[in-house]
Chains A and B, each alone.
Chain A
Amino acid sequence: MTIIDNITYGYRKNRPVFRDLTLKLGDGRIYGLLGMNGSGKTTLLKLLSGMLFPDKGRIMSDGENVAERSPGILQNIFMMPAEFRFGKISLDRFIALNSVFYPAFDDSILKDCLAGFGIGPKIDNLDRLSSGEKKKVLACIAMSFGTKILLMDEPVSGMDIPSRTLFRKLLVKHLRDEQTVIISAHEFSGLENIFSDVLIVRNDGTVYSDSIGNISVKYACGTDRSDTGALYSEPCAGGYRVIRKNISGIAAEIPVDILFNAVLKGAIR
């Protein structure tokens, strides 16, 4: 269990990105972290990983303060950045030098993921790969390290559509029961199908958080000629796409894109 306990963080004084934010992140969940550009998605991931320190409050992972950056905490956190440079190094060397720090590293997962993406295990210079291939290789490494918390910042940007599907399948296949994954994404690229929960960062620094299961019981989505009585509506070809309160008691499917818009517009609080 990871607890974000009343944190405030800002890059400049008097302009906090997050103010008094409190969240609980459960084990074995896949969180979709959504938000507009500049809303603070990467900042939240960096705070969770211990790269940044909250100005106020603390982030606890299994009872330990993440900002301590102790070896025990760091070996349970892997943050896959959106932009990175491997440098001139072979995959074997990279794995040999880094995997010694991660006791849950599983070479068979790495090989399976690489094979799944159609990438050979022998890569002499990781820097020569295309940006999409680099993302695939790092995603494979991230999955194979087996950390309890896996933070992925835009993992599929730069990947082609079949690779995004493969990424989704491989992540679900190799995810261990106790692992928590937080995936930040700008686009809705098929990943929403694997989210068990959503975290939507609003521009005012507040975060909407709920499980897809809860949302589907609370709200219903559909197309209607009229938007009367709807919590949120968007014009579409047949009238309106609307979100209403779910009074049937039967779980309904809510597309993440309309949920995202409804949260940002304040229709869902």
Chain B
Amino acid sequence: MRKFSIARMLQFCRLQLESSWFGNIWKLTGGLVLIVIFIILLSVTGGGSDIGRMMDTSENLLKVLVMMQIMGIYADIVRNDRPLPLMMIPASSLEKYISMYLSSAAVSLLLLAVSVTAGSGIYAIAGKILHPDNNAGINILFFREGWKFLAGSIETCLVSTTLVWMMPFVLKRKRYHPAVSCAVVAGFLAVLFLPAILMFAGVIPASAARYSSLAIMISVTIMNLRWGYVLFRQFEFDRKSND
């Protein structure tokens, strides 16, 4: 039997999305709309009269939400209270791993669509109330400045892939010596912020820091994907019960 099949991976993705997330798509969308409205109202009430700042806050909070949902998808795959746990479905670990990112992308796209639609609408209304004389047009959430959306997407990918290895690593931390766990997390953060640290220390110029940051982010994302897969393969359902 082939170790990787796109058809089987898509079947697995469909199984997870339909049984956990999109089983009732309207209910899910409704829930997301409420969350998005809550986040935007939170930003509007705390943002004074500067619409740009309010939108920045909303975008950042929504980005955090997108980053966190991959943890929900991961937890759904490794949970063992299903009659047929997803890890025990006859698909390879790699198929399940890639499917996890696909499911996350699907949920993120839905969240983005809801945020853009509901968020931009609310901000258009808020703009009319706060600045009735301003006829600058509608600002679309996340797409106000093209490059910012791209930068935000890369940032979200980096954090999401980090969470994918960080979560099982923290859950299984007792397997490692406490010093090892702390050293891994500290080392990871040190590598990530190394160019900024060197720049502030005056060792490298800002342009070099920018390029080395980009190179480190790409390398770290690749390492995240690799290590996340290794830990995903080794995930055990070690809950002690019903013996």
Q: Give the total number of A-B pairs whose CB atoms are below 8 A apart.
A: 102
Q: Are A88 and B24 in contact (CB under 8 A)?
A: yes
Q: Are A39 and B88 in contact (CB under 8 A)?
A: no
Q: Which of A66-93 contact B (CB under 8 A)?
A: 69-72, 74-75, 77-89, 93
Complexed CA–CA distance, A72 and B84 (Å): 16
**A72 vs B23: C-alpha distance when bound (angstroms):** 28
Q: For chain B residues 60-111, which have a beta carbon within 8 Å of chain A?
A: 80-85, 87-93, 95
Please, how many angstroms separate the alpha-carbon atoms of A84 and B86 in the complex? 13
Binds A, one of B13-21, B36-44, B47-55, B153-161: B13-21
Known: A35-B243, A39-B243, A83-B241. A101 touches B91 (CB 8 A): yes
Q: Verify B15–A50 contact, CB threshold 8 A.
A: no
**Pairwise interchain contact B87-A85, C-beta atoms closer than 8 A:** no
Q: Would you call A101 and B242 a contact (CB within 8 A)?
A: no
Distance between A97 CB and nearest chain B CB, rounded to angstroms: 5
Please tell me the size bucket of the interface on B.
Answer: 35 or more
Quick check: B243 and A40 within 8 Å, CB to CB? yes
* Interface residue tally for chain A (C-beta within 8 Å): 45
CB of A53 closer than 8 Å to a CB of B: yes
Of the candidates A46, A71, A88, A98, the one whose C-beta lies within 8 Å of that of B84 is A98
Answer whether residue A42 sits at the interface, using C-beta atoms and an 8 A cutoff.
Answer: yes
Pick from B80, B88, B92, B238: contact of A77, CB below 8 A: B88
Q: Which residues of chain A are within 8 angstroms of B18 by Cβ–Cβ distance?
A: 93, 97
Set B88, B89, B95, B236: member contacting A53, Cβ < 8 A? B236
Going nearest first, the 4 A-B pairs with the smallest beta carbon separation are: A75-B90, A74-B90, A72-B1, A82-B242
Chain A residues near B (Cβ < 8 Å): 11, 35, 37-43, 46, 49-53, 69-72, 74-75, 77-89, 93-94, 97-98, 100-102, 138, 141, 153-154
